[in-house]
Structure 1
């Protein structure tokens, strides 16, 4: 590990317990910083309501750190929108945001569009499939952005159990993302959960970054944030244990391909063809191929979008 990263770990890695709610609230009021929380959601009726209820109770009523709570529904076929709205969130459908540009499937697409649907100086993203959700996931990642003006981007870190096996989650992280980062962006080797879906950043940074439309969004934002504001402006906070719905091996394969492609684009922009990934499933006559396109599209920095620039002037 680089000495620079070792120093960073001692300066920019914290625990959620390092900042009390009272300290965070005082810092928020002193700075006048507003906070938006975004939950990207697709068929998450079983968990989204509980997450919304915890954030509203703990971080909007009891300790008012969060000013805006928005669920972006990316086309759910279940009751996700209804459950989230009933729990107290503002729900916006992905297709209602920036309708001039037709939406494409993907988590990154939703996160990119959320910048137009929110107004906070700090934007925190939280996955909508978390179980046994704690408000620490939000206060932890927002905390350094309220108390440390030099910090611009904060990732949550946590244990990720896989069933009864402690620390066995995050398979794509260990098999794909961590080797890529260590080899090509060694300054980012200190991040415990580089692909985690819980992170917060200053709007002034997010609006300058391109957003991969699919699963590569977390790696893409992390790498681009490093190049935009430098390692010392990045941080991570330990928030405990993350429990969520795990995907099967083939879904993880597609995720890994998108993440690898995102890394490729950042290493050699403009010199790559449109890739595909072929996987196999056993069918009536043996193994049958299934070929999927790998997410390659990226949305430009939101500051380049006319509607966003107009909103800022207005």
Structure 2
């Protein structure tokens, strides 16, 4: 198995510099391929506008028409996320207004799943809305292999993710990497149960692109488990050689506290468990503790277990695709 992973790394791991922008534009024109960029957003007014502005300015101009549509899907923000995104030039869709026949539930995967109904690109590129100092390389890097190699179906970004910003290089903890849930939960799970995926540097990263023809055939975990679920299911559906990753540099973003990371870890473990034991009926809970005036107080949270079916099975989506 190690030899297979090493061969895959040699054949399916690239740098963003390996595919210059002019090559991508030529491939897009030759194939008539359309590209959608989707930003799932919940209370990201501080960063979403900057990301939208970079994509609009560098990838949607007359000189560089790489991206055909840019959509921010607002997941129920209570701040000015929607207004800031629209002012920067994005089309804003609201989670609850998409497919109202099925009541929405909280969760990132829910938003990504619904985004397929309000986008039309042959390639769909997901980018988290909390990135700082955003570079267009995050889009060109992961879209590139899909435009230039017909055998590639799913591409994840890989990057460094420092816990502190470069300007705080002298501070305690500087140089430490984020991705604690990746290293403590996701990577061990993948290595133990799906060793063919052991070569992915950032299996839980929120920046990835795929062909619509693949995404519409995949179930979407509604919560934090969506990235692991999509990766595992894509492997099962199209095989390892259809998956790839691209180094796009450095990712700066907001880091979660330990409690949020614990809930994320539990959801990811549950997503893996469902795939290992389809039909398992356990409805798990996660109990964490806060110290109160009279000792430790338990706080119990439900762990995401719901999943959305492949979008190709949703009647509204099928009608929309036929009309298009």
TM-score, L = length of structure 2: 0.96
Distance 1:148 1:167, change over 3 A: farther
Matches within 5 A, 1:14-163: 14-61=14-61, 62-163=63-164
Partners of 2:322 and 2:21 lie apart in 1 by 34
Task: Give deviations 1:179-218, integer Å, cap 9, x for gaps.
Answer: 0000000000000000000000000000000000000000
Q: 1:166: how far off?
A: 2.7
Q: 1:64: how far off?
A: 1.2
On the 8 A contact 1:160/1:166 being kept in 2, the answer is: no
Task: Give deviations 1:33-62, integer Å, cap 9, x for gaps.
Answer: 000000000000000000000000001014
Candidates 288, 296, 303, aligned match of 1:294: 303
Partners of 2:292 and 2:157 lie apart in 1 by 41
Structure 1 residue runs without a partner (length 5+): none
The range that moved more, 157-166 or 28-37, is 157-166
- Secondary structure of 1:279's counterpart equals strand
- Secondary structure of 2:59's counterpart equals helix
Partners of 1:226 and 1:195 lie apart in 2 by 15
Q: 1:272: how far off?
A: 3.5
Q: 1:283: how far off?
A: 1.5
Q: 1:128: how far off?
A: 0.1
Matches within 5 A, 1:155-304: 155-163=156-164, 164=169, 165-304=174-313
Partners of 1:251 and 1:312 lie apart in 2 by 37
On the 8 A contact 1:159/1:167 being kept in 2, the answer is: no
The range that moved more, 223-232 or 62-71, is 62-71
Task: Give deviations 1:134-169, integer Å, cap 9, x for gaps.
Answer: 000000000000000000000000001011533510
List structure 1 segments (4+ residues) > 3 angstroms apart after TM superposition.
Answer: none
Does structure 1 residue 10 correspond to structure 2 residue 10? yes
Partners of 1:264 and 1:130 lie apart in 2 by 30
On the 8 A contact 1:159/1:166 being kept in 2, the answer is: no
> Number of matched residues?
314
Q: 1:87: how far off?
A: 0.1
Partners of 1:300 and 1:42 lie apart in 2 by 23
On the 8 A contact 1:72/1:114 being kept in 2, the answer is: yes
TM-score, L = length of structure 1: 0.99
